[in-house]
Amino acid sequence: MAFLGMSPLLIVAILTGLIDLAFSSCPLVCQCPLEVPRCAPGVGLVLDSCGCCKVCAKQLNEDCSKSQPCDHTKGLECNFGANSKATKGICRAKSEGRPCEYNSRIYQNGESFQPNCKHQCTCIDGAVGCLPLCPQELSLPNLGCPNPRLVKVPGQCCEEWICDEARDTFDDMEDFFSKELSLDANEGELTSKNEFVPILKGGHKVLPGEFFFGLFNCFQVQLLFLVVDLDRGHLD
């Protein structure tokens, strides 16, 4: 046998090394998936501790190992406890990381939380960083989309862009000024003096010192007065 002639202490050392190798979380040969894994929002892609493959980093209080490391960018480390030979541990925050306070709640360093359905946040050494869970709201729609606007979708948190085929706002305003506004024949007669020419809409007279506001498709138009100076031959 291979152990013949060896001292008992040497045999124990060899067997201990073989057992540790057998239960090690690092494989003898690296075998990585062909496709890079897709991680959840707020979860980073890191190289495992064996130097083999890129994996989704484990988060606070999740199980970890050499092949499934914790997210070090958030101040996390794999805590194996008092057993130095353990192959699996739990992701814990490093002792030097500071906690965070957000909306009257305390979060530990490296802890991830979701304050609402649109954001994923993480406490990183006393500072809170957040990522959007609705990226489509931050990007503009296609160039061929007329009058784009965000709308709420029943049963969904994130809003979506829709293309409004309604008429252009400026066309509506042009129609208003061409059809709705008119000058009364008597009120609009020009004299040789500087005068305010009142603007009428629907038979209501706008007196000097007053303003008339029209709301057309969210555009507020303030109709001012024209001052006519016939002596100089132009409008003030």
**Phi–psi pair at 206, nearest 5 degrees:** -100, 115
Q: Tens digit of pLDDT for each residue in 156-182?
A: 999 988 888 765 555 545 544 554 444
Residue 48 has pLDDT above 80, yes or no: yes
Domains of the chain in start order, with CATH, are 100-132 (2.10.70), 136-166 (no CATH), 169-235 (no CATH)
pLDDT top residue among 93 and 207 = 93
33 half-sphere exposure, CB direction, 13 A CA radius: 7
Chain segment 176-230, per-residue pLDDT in tens: 455 444 444 444 444 444 444 444 444 444 444 444 444 333 333 333 333 444 4
CA dihedral 142, 147, 152, 158 (to 10 degrees): 30
Contact status, residue 170 vs residue 187, Cβ threshold 8 Å: no
DSSP code at position 72: G
Q: In this structure, what token pair is assigned to residue 208?
A: 């000097």
Least confident of 10-14, 96-100, 128-132: 10-14
User: pLDDT tens digits for 7-46?
Assistant: 766 565 555 554 444 445 677 888 888 888 898 888 889 9
How do beta strands 204-205 and 100-102 pair? unpaired
First to last CA, the chain: 114
